Structure 1
């Protein structure tokens, strides 16, 4: 490698960093999508219409633990924290360390915990933070493109970790995600949010039995 090439490397890196910083969370989200599109559902974060509608069925007064899979740059995090009681906790789980690092740097709330790990390990993660059950679990993970066996494992672990009366909240761009919920959640509400890029399917799987 020539001295000119060596000199260009830091400059190119600095330029990329400046562009990412200028774009704020969008830059981090875009980089995460480019690096691992299989684990990121969309190149565009969810709209406020999707956020408000997805969270509208939550009984916030009785929520002590809210869990989110695949938080990305935290599109849902602040809206959840805004609704969460003072003694509640929000645990977010993501396999992408870049997203987890960004969230830890940008969200300073004692109720917030960001975990670099797999949603399939949600039971262990919940117990490690002092809880036996979660009230609600939210997921925007792209179930249809996850590695073989991962989506069923996540759905099963999620059902076990949710307390009776709680729910699994899922938003996706393909209808297949419902098929992973159906073996566990017998009562599933559904909707479509058109004001989103792209429009998305929504499901609320209720745990009526232990």
Structure 2
């Protein structure tokens, strides 16, 4: 292949990199949605209203480990870190290596860890980072479009990994997530946030103390 042909072949990649840099996190998020629409679920990150309302019930003073599934480009990460105690930890789990690579460069807080993996393996991931249980788990994964068996596996593993008194926080664009949660969480609070694209359903599944 001649140098001219190599240059022509490399041009689309150079343009792509320039566009991504210009768009910043939106460019990374958009590419992630295009590549993995089933796993990302939405083309637009959550609104600040959704973030504020979703995190409001968390008892931050007693939160030592917060876990997030499908963090994307970190829309929730900084708000969680802003609220987390100095001795707390945030572990985010995503199957998209582009998102994980972006997050590892974006967040330098020592309390932050980005893991390339499946939410179904949350128990092993939590233990491998020196924890027994999580206080809260947040998920924006699109349960209604996950491959067969994956949603139930994630819901079951999440229930097991959450400490008593903790909660599973879920935001979705359809109400189907409640079906997966209700198999394990007897008490589920719910609200809806209209100032979001699209409007989303919000659920808090509490692991009540015996």
TM-score, length of structure 1 as denominator length:
0.98
Q: Name the residue aligned to 2:168.
A: 168
Q: Name the residue aligned to 2:96.
A: 96
How far residue 81 of structure 1 moved from its aligned partner, in angstroms, is 0.1
How far residue 11 of structure 1 moved from its aligned partner, in angstroms, is 1.2
**Unpaired stretches in structure 1, ≥5 consecutive residues:** none
Work out the CA distance in 2 between the residues paired with 1:170 and 1:5.
49
How far residue 209 of structure 1 moved from its aligned partner, in angstroms, is 3.8
Work out the CA distance in 2 between the residues paired with 1:143 and 1:3.
47
Work out the CA distance in 1 between the residues paired with 2:60 and 2:130.
20
* Aligned positions of 1:61-80 closer than 5 A: 61-80=61-80
Q: What SS class does the counterpart of residue 37 from structure 2 fall into?
A: coil
1:155-202: per-residue Cα shift (whole Å, max 9, x none)?
Answer: 000000000000000000011111000010000000000000000000
Q: Name the residue aligned to 2:186.
A: 186
Q: Name the residue aligned to 1:151.
A: 151
1:112-170: per-residue Cα shift (whole Å, max 9, x none)?
Answer: 00000000000000001111000000000000000100000000000000000000000
2:16 corresponds to 1:16: yes
TM-score, length of structure 2 as denominator length:
0.98
How far residue 6 of structure 1 moved from its aligned partner, in angstroms, is 3.2
Work out the CA distance in 1 between the residues paired with 2:86 and 2:209.
28
State the superposition RMSD in angstroms: 1.1
Aligned length: 210
Q: What SS class does the counterpart of residue 38 from structure 2 fall into?
A: coil
Work out the CA distance in 2 between the residues paired with 1:130 and 1:168.
20
Q: Name the residue aligned to 2:55.
A: 55
Work out the CA distance in 2 between the residues paired with 1:62 and 1:209.
15
2:132 corresponds to 1:109: no
Q: What SS class does the counterpart of residue 124 from structure 1 fall into?
A: helix
Work out the CA distance in 1 between the residues paired with 2:39 and 2:5.
33
How far residue 5 of structure 1 moved from its aligned partner, in angstroms, is 4.4
